[in-house]
Structure 1
Amino acid sequence: MKSLLEPTSVLLKKSWERSRMNGVNALTAKDAILEKSQFKQYREQKEEFMREIAPTMEHLAYWLKSSYSIVIICDTSGYILESKGDPSFLKDTEKIQVHQGACWSEQVRGTNSAGTVIVEKKPLAVVGTEHYLEANHMLYCAASPIFDPYGELLAVLDFSGLSVKYHPSLLGMVDAMARKIEDWLLIHRPDRQLVISLSPQQPGKHRALVAVNQDGVVTGGNREAQMLLHLDKHLMGNIQLSDLLTDMDSLLQRPAGALRSGTLLVGNGNGVDNRWQASVLIDTRPPLTALSAASKEKQKQKRTDASTLYSFEDIFGSDDSFLKAIRLAKRAAATDYTIMLSGESGTGKDLISQAIHMASPRANKPFVAINCGAVPKSLLESELFGYEAGAFTGAKQTGQAGKIEQAHGGTLFLDEIAEMPMEMQVALLRVLQDLSVTRIGGTKPAHVDVRIITATHTDLWKKVQDGSFRADLFYRLQGVHIILPPLRERADRLQLARLLLTGIETELNQGSLSLSAAAELLIENYTWPGNVRQLTAALREAAFLSEDGFVDTSCFPPYILSTYTKTAAPTGELEKLENDAIVDVLHKTGGNISETARLLGIGRSTVYRKMKKMTGPM
């Protein structure tokens, strides 16, 4: 990757020269637009990437919607994949083809931030008359490249608005957001990986993130890591991290529990060494990675999946109705009764089922789960009951045990039991009656000893009454019925959010995170239709987008804000809560900004910004 030190004026001069050589003109640019059907097919090829960045695009669009500006994402060919923001400005820019499907490559439209960034692969702002085509002189455009974990250009993020409204800080902001997207893409890869964060001790520099696989081989890095360690796509996958950095053994080990950290000296290529704080950001490598031979032998004697299951100690709750459900679950765990868990999606039925298993006499035996609604009807029978060799086309030559057999001696968790087809209900009832299972294509029944836990987000008794669920199976499965309350009815929402935020601090390695007074009010009053699962996802995004460790309402997903603001207290009341908290601490500290920021768990710049917005006396 190229250095960022080349002056912007030089980049613009080179771009204008290329534009002249390419014969760029307004007439040809006007027609460089994909037809609707073409764009649909083109966009589908980028769908996975667009899903990944959708929360960030929504957040930026919400932030820009009243500023007469927009956020744009372009692919490496210059085609606009998405444009969002102020509706009035979006309408005005239609005249100069700033919309989905239009090509803004430098070869088509001359010097413009998105097109020129694709060529130069560096952040760049193009303001007013710096655009090559006169039709674009009304615009400012500030853009930054988005690189994949291998250093390949993936897309360009662009802020655009009226040229008279441009401020130099916009370029820094769009670059910071592009880097956050890059970090997100690296951290949330499905690969089993260890991600190490290298944070510079000098102010003003970005942290470097480097990923390695279970063998310690470098598999990716963000922009800063690629520059710091002189990585390129040819090295990734072919070089050990220990060949690039010394004293890495303690970081590459996997002791259970706390994250590891240390200080490293990293050469910058000119003979001067810089100190970087190295720490493990996230570790999803298989459990046996980096264990000694003795530890590996010891590990073989244990159940490999037990450590991945939740226990009651891992589940937080202080709400009375939730604690009542937990107490009932603990009592039921000691028995061999069939258990039915009811509750809305996202209330934690899967976690409770694991905790019941771990607290039961069957804890050292298998815990096997299957979602009856997620498996296609045609495959559910073979998944549950298994099959013999040659039972059907594509069957394994050795045959395969089904989930019921796999759970022998342990627990079978049937999630979304209400979605089980009627013919499968009959077969399951027979298993429960006979305590045996016969594979598809087989004739010999096998004895099974399983404890059944079921879960549903619907009223199963209503299913019985309308004839879509067998009454006799319902009675067999009822056993102990445990109802989990929805998050909106729990009195411990705020405590739970703070606990989740602590875990997210570890995931992101961003230091201490705190909720603003307005954010706490949102958590207390929003309805949370997706329950704990939705709260976790919302907090993760809000933390990722926060500044100075201060999670404000503006950091939450726009779809939540658009619903919440219709029913919540007026914005002035939310701001008053935050202002009152800041003023109160300022009085206690005698006006000491640094101490106020420390006590509130926010940055000094945030305190200054909030103070500036206050209109009342302090």
Structure 2
Amino acid sequence: MNQQMSRAILNSDWYNGSVKAAWSRYLRNEEILQSELRSEIAHSWETSKDLGVNPFQSQINEIINDQTLAIRLKHNKQLLSYASPRIQQLLDLFDDSKTVLSIADKDGTILKSVGEKNVLKRAEKRYIFAGGTWTEKSAGTNAVGMVLRTKQSSQVLFSEHFCENVHDWYCVAFPVLAPFTKELLGIVNLAGNASDVHRHSIGYALAEAKNMALSLERHFFEYALRHHLFLHTALEKMDHIVLSVDLSDQILTRNEGANRSERFQNETSIASFPELKALVANVRTNGQQIVNEQIQDGSTNKRYQVSIYPVRFQDHIYGVVIFLQQDQRVVNKKKPSPRKATTRYSFSNMVGVSPTFQALLKQAEKAASLQSTILISGETGTGKEVLAQAIHQASNRGGKPFVAINCGAVPPSLLESELSGYEAGAFTGSKAKGSAGKFEQANGGTIFLDEIGDMPLDLQVHLLRILEERVVTRIGGSVPIPVDVRVISATNKDLKEAVQKGTFREDLYYRLCVLQMELPPLRERSEDIPVLIQSFLPALCQEFGKQMISLTRETLTILERYHWPGNIRELKNVLQQAMFVMDGDVIHPHHLPDSFYSQTQSDEYEKQKLLRALEQQEGNVTKAAASLNMSRATIYRRLKKYRLERH
């Protein structure tokens, strides 16, 4: 225990008074001298303020329910099994020192607390109990929350806490870090009350709490080492390239096969191998292994057979192990076929665990092995082009062009020339050398006719002729040009109804609808929303310059219950908007658009709207009232109504 901490804990009245004065001036936006406050505490106060924490709140903002706590306890079974024997040995010490020792998980939620019974009762009144979540967002400046942000030991003494209701408590927290990856596995926290400081045993209690965290790390390291040594020996004897990759796509270890590979021997990340990176992201998102998938390296045109396995510990995924074997049949070709066009999406980008979606994927994989024309139907934003690209990529045309045209976006006067092309001088404004149409451009590959239901009737005749004869004649030309193209079309309309109304040709409908697939709307596959969100977050975090983003359970519930008229596209847009307006690293309900709250949720809507206004105005009630076009008195009434009082 350092000298400052010892003096602070043993002379709490002196220390508390000194820091309390600085805390009061901080809330009045007055200047604080560097000598009055530790820099790490000043930084945490700023963080708490930016996160919208109320310094006068009577309780922490996040307490998980019993069902969620049971899941967390199960996930952290190994952490608790390592800690429990040592805790039992130290119960007398916690009694003597009048302290409470808590084990928290990697999210800052307390899993278990032990200590002297009277102190434990007082701690429970401050929500220092199993289920209480002590992030800086939930509780302001506190030792557990600071460890979550820094992964370093932290201490917060009395009035250094941002929230006044714990100004008579001190807390010291120590991280438990995973071997090799240094991901946070858990936190050991020791807390005490100013009125219960025991002069002689407090130092021992703090030392034992620190030793417990180090002991837990040692247990995890020994566990990893025992398994790693045997595994390392086995992997070195394999002909495969073997890579272990962490959550940020960095290569942690490689076997001798990887060191001999020109492609991987100098790589520190898999970022330069987009198709592999996409598969890894999919495994991390849904937790399902991939076995014997065929992929192609765009930088070398070499093909690999890949298997990817998630690395789990305490039911959390910390990375993956990748097994790669080069396809020698492709490598030995003197001139690998150049790829005229690539698709952005493959089946690895088709994310979902719902039975409906999984059944659709099986159909799509089967369709990829065939050559038949496909009609994909589904509402706007369900991912029709993503599915079309995935089918193309998995087919034997995967190395050939994929050409898309939106039949509803191209003016009718230009659509014929877009499909068939034109010769030089065919019409005013045409290119001097003429231009190939979409069917010519897609020769050997796939043409995707999006929004086919919006194609004018006269042009439907033109398209039907191309499909029947498999030739195109450029506008202004007379020479038929044979085309070998697979046709995939898509629509958000009921084409059968359009046929009955006479707005879509029946013969063209049956020509396009050889194989039919329907993408379900997002509201019918709500169980896929969490995995879709996880698939979007890595790219969005990079876009907004954030390290890691999470959602509260309440936020996720709202998203799962929403009707999603814009489907997957709308979901991604909502996440982008939430990350734009938020300041911290947790998406709360008040970061969501107003449209998420129906009339039956009027109180919740009003509460979240109020929280959003306060957050945007950095807690300034007057400015928040002005932005909501209401009086300060009304704001204070609603703060009281929703138990968000600001004293």
Name the larger-Rg structure.
Answer: 2
Question: What is the TM-score when the length of structure 2 is the normalising length?
Answer: 0.42
TM value normalised by structure 1:
0.44
Higher RCO, 1 vs 2 (CA within 8 Å, ≥6 residues apart)? 2
